[in-house]
Amino acid sequence: MKKFSIMKNGVSSTLVLIMTLAIAGCSDFFDITNKQTLSTDNFPATLEQVDLVLTSSYAGPYGIGLYAFYWFPMGIYLFDHTTNTYGSYDERGTSMDNYTDLNSRYTTQMYVDICKWANLSTTAIEAIAYYGETYAGTGELDQLKYMRGQALFNRALAYWHGQIFFETDPDDWGFPIFDQVATDLEGMKRARATVTDTWDFVIIDLETAIPLLAGHHDHYRASEWAAKGLLAKVYMQSLYIFPANKAKAKALMEEIIQASGKELAPPEVYQDMFYGNEAHEFNAESLYELSMTTNWNQNGPWEGYTTGSGMPMVMAPWYMDLNIRFRPGVEGAVDPLTKQYDVITSKKSSEWGNNFIHDANIKRFGFDAAGGDSVPRRTLNTAYDPNLPRSVDNYPYRTQDPDYRQKSLNLKNNRDLVDPRLMLCAGQPYVDEYINESGNTTYYDRSLEVNNRPDLLTWQHRKFTNIRGVEMGPAPYGKNQSSDANYPIVRLADIYLLYAELIKEDNPSLALEYINRVHRRAYGFPPDDPSPYDYTGLTDRTRTADEQDHLAYDVLRYERWAELFAEGQWWWDVRRWKIGPAEAGYFVETRHGAITWKGDESYVQPIPQLELERNENIQQSAGYPGVR
């Protein structure tokens, strides 16, 4: 994020101000009539002050519980098994088991930050209305409409993230409705609305926002097409509740496809649009993305709202340390193969590096059998010359099978067997190249925590990580643990696949064409022309290596999984299709243990214990302790 970071420089102080004014309500403490002076009696009194309040609603996703830190690596990636962890770390293990502990600090902070985001957006909506009624001139009305549209979009987006707490039955509990700003503590203790009422609230916000945003296309703010894209997703995710919205969803997605001017990014852009390359951000495919900028003044996300993301810090790759100690008479005296454990050569690219891609995902992309189902051990490299600079070609150790790397590359490049999107998402230890903290080429490695587990593949996360260096440290090769990779919320490939899903019963040939457009681009071909890799039917064999995988003959669902992998979208599909048991059966286990799907409660994150203790009006979800 480049431009929007300017808007966020004052976010922290703005939040304090907004919260103070909201709680103070109609206090008579101040008696100030100067519109340029901030007070509870006249704020906001200028259009600039209104924009200050609106800016605070954009700060919502940058909280610790969301994209600044927890959302993917401690949340969504655990729920849908995008990721596994090197150890059974704290309460993250319960989330991987799809039954999160009520005291999880991670889901607690997610809940807090989503509530805060919704409240900040509602505060902006009320501030815009107050200014419009009290101070606005006729020349400001259009700008106020645009501002209101943005605030409504931000509130809807907060609730869209709040789905993790929605139960699945329409009449069960959704999320508290923050439709007006509370002026006292009791007013902040909201009960949960039903799932139906919560989704209805979101739909109304977006349907109201769209005409207010018409004609506005700022990348860094909500736009007409951002709201239409999000509404299309909301229609689809709530279609089981509101089946009458099918016609609306179809018309809306056709409008996006035909009139938005959006198109699938070409293959050369697609291959580099997830890694913080500014040239490929906000590209032709993007309808809305969260913009990030490395914060060089704050290492990591711990101090709160920040402009960069700390999520890649948690899922940061381990890589082969070119400077590993090697003494011919000591380390080189005994072949590592004679020892019980493999030799440790790894170095982490951040202070964390807790996560790796769950092995079952690698096989679902079609990669299987190169070197067996294990990571090869290392042996002494007899060709190593200590008098020459270290490199991947001149290193003290090599894999036991000297052809392992080439075999792996051959398999990965075989598009008849392996989905090329695997290489966008995951880096293979001892095979795929990585850039270290000095800008030198090395290979991905794996954590020392699993050096005694050759049966774990432990491919490293690539999507949203720094592929041009490491996560910690200074420029040019570090990111100060504050990633600048943007996060797509809605992109055209997502819309194409949702549209195909909607029409596949009525028009299967057109549905297949839209699936193939996404598929062709992923395989390096122009999306609108037939390719050698086209599907011929909706039940064709997909790339997953497991014949028993429930995605093996489901083209639509496989493509949604593969195309949007690691983008935080799959969990919503798992929930709405109710395929949790099938997914648990496919992934089988995590480092925490066997995955035991409990029932519908496994689709839902519990209301945190802290909220239960502080809010006597809140209702717990069925299947969790503390149900009212």
HSE (CB half, 13 Å, CA atoms) of 212? Answer: 21
- pLDDT band of 571, cuts 50, 70, 90: very high
β-bridge partners, 115 = none
Question: What's 74's DSSP letter?
Answer: I
Closest by Cα among 126, 143, 133, 125 to 47: 143
Cα separation, 137 vs 528, whole angstroms:
49
Range scoring the smallest mean pLDDT among 271-280, 443-452, 545-554, 575-584:
443-452
| pLDDT one-digit tens code per residue, 419-464 | 999 999 999 999 999 999 999 999 999 999 998 888 999 999 999 9
- Cβ proximity of 496 and 325 under 8 Å: no
Element (H, E) at 121: helix 105-134
Report residue 34's pLDDT band, with 50, 70 and 90 as the boundaries: low
Q: What is the pLDDT of residues 354-374, one digit of tens each?
A: 999 999 999 999 999 776 577
Percentage of the chain lying above the pLDDT 70 cut? 93
Q: Taking a C-beta distance cutoff of 8 angstroms, is the pair 209, 149 a contact?
A: yes
Tell me the pLDDT tens digit for each residue of 214-255. Answer: 999 999 999 999 999 999 999 999 999 999 999 999 999 999
For residue 11, pLDDT over 70 is answered with: no
* Mean pLDDT of the 154-161 span: 98
> Which run of H or E residues covers position 8?
helix 4-8
Could you tell me the pLDDT band of residue 38, with boundaries at 50, 70 and 90? low
Q: Give the DSSP letter string of 411-474.
A: HHT-TTTS-TTHHHHEE-TTTSEEE-TTS-EEEB---GGGTT-TT---PEE-TTS-TTS-SSSS
Q: Who's near 451: CB < 8 A, 6+ residues apart?
A: 341, 342, 343, 344
What is the reported pLDDT for 361? 98
Concatenated DSSP letters of 572-610: HHHHHHT-HHHHHHHH-EETTEE----SGGGGSPPPPHH
Other Cβ atoms less than 10 A from the Cβ of 434: the count is 26
What was the pLDDT predicted at 36? 54
* Angle between the N-to-C axes of helices 508-522 and 555-563, in degrees from 0 to 180, rounded to the nearest 10: 30
User: Residue 12 pLDDT more than 60?
Assistant: no
pLDDT-derived band at 4, boundaries 50, 70, 90: very low
Pair of tokens at residue 2: 């480049």
User: Residue 87 carries which DSSP code?
Assistant: S
Token representation of residue 455: 């049966």
Amino acid type, 520: R
For the chain, which residues make up each domain, given as ranges?
11-80+93-214+599-628, 313-473
Average pLDDT over residues 76-98: 95
CA distance 153 to 138: 24
Angle between helices 246-259 and 224-237 (to 10 degrees): 150
Residue with tokens 């709201």: 227
- Assign 111 a pLDDT band (cuts: 50, 70, 90): very high
Q: Which residue has the higher pLDDT, 210 or 304?
A: 210
Q: How far apart are CA 226 and CA 353, in angstroms?
A: 33
The average confidence (pLDDT) of the chain is 93
Between 502 and 42, name the one with better pLDDT.
502
pLDDT value for 372 = 59
- Checking if the pLDDT of 1 tops 90, the result is no
Whether residue 7 has pLDDT greater than 90: no
CATH code for the structural domain at 11-80+93-214+599-628: 1.25.40.390
First-to-last alpha carbon distance for the chain, in angstroms, is: 44
**HEC-encoded secondary structure of 326-363:** CCCCCHHHCCHHHCCCCCCCEEECCCCCCEEECHHHHH
Match 């070609």 to its residue by tokens.
Answer: 393
361-390 residues labelled b (16+ CB within 10 A) or e (exposed): bbbbbbbbebbeeebbbbbbbeebeeeeeb
- Determine the Cα–Cα distance for residues 627 and 387; give it in Å rounded to an integer: 68
| % of the chain with per-residue pLDDT over 90 | 88
pLDDT, tens digit, for every residue of 130-153? 999 999 999 999 999 999 999 999
Whole-angstrom CA distances from 168 to 114, 150, 164, 546 are: 19, 29, 10, 29
Question: Which pLDDT tens digit goes with each residue over 513-541?
Answer: 999 999 999 999 999 999 999 999 999 99
d(CA 224, CA 216): 6
pLDDT of residue 19: 46
Tokens of 124: 């902006």
User: Cα dist. 335→185, 381, 392, 586, 607 in Å?
Assistant: 67, 9, 19, 38, 53
Helical residues (DSSP H) of 25-140, grouped into ranges: 47-58, 77-79, 92-96, 105-134
The phi and psi torsions of 16 (rounded to 5 degrees) equal: -60, -45
Higher-pLDDT residue of 83 and 20 is: 83
Q: Which of 70, 73, 48, 69 is nearest to 460 (CA)?
A: 73
pLDDT at 331 exceeding the cut of 90: yes
| 296-322 average pLDDT score | 94
What is the pLDDT at residue 27?
A: 33
Partners of residue 397 on adjacent β-strands: 380
Q: Which two tokens stand for residue 423?
A: 């290489």
Q: How many residues does the chain have?
A: 628
pLDDT score, position 375? 87
Q: Are strands 346-348 and 355-357 parallel, antiparallel or unpaired?
A: unpaired
Give helix 492-503 / helix 224-237 axis angle, nearest 10°: 40
**Has residue 35 got a pLDDT over 80?**
no
Q: Which two tokens stand for residue 530?
A: 């037939």
Query: Taking residues 561-580, what's their average pLDDT?
Result: 98
Which class for 444: exposed (0-12), middle (13-18), buried (19 or more C-beta within 10 A)?
buried
Give Cβ neighbours of residue 490 (< 8 Å, ≥ 6 apart): 226, 229, 230, 232, 233, 286, 287, 288
Q: What are phi and psi of 119, to 5 degrees?
A: -65, -40
Which amino acid belongs to residue 514?
Answer: Y
Query: Is the per-residue pLDDT at 341 higher than 60?
Result: yes
Q: Provide the pLDDT confidence category of residue 32 given band limits of 50, 70 and 90.
A: very low
158-190 in b/e burial notation, b at 16+ Cβ within 10 A?
Answer: bbbbbbbbbbbebebbbbbbbeebbeeeeebeb
Q: What is the mean pLDDT of residues 20-49?
A: 57
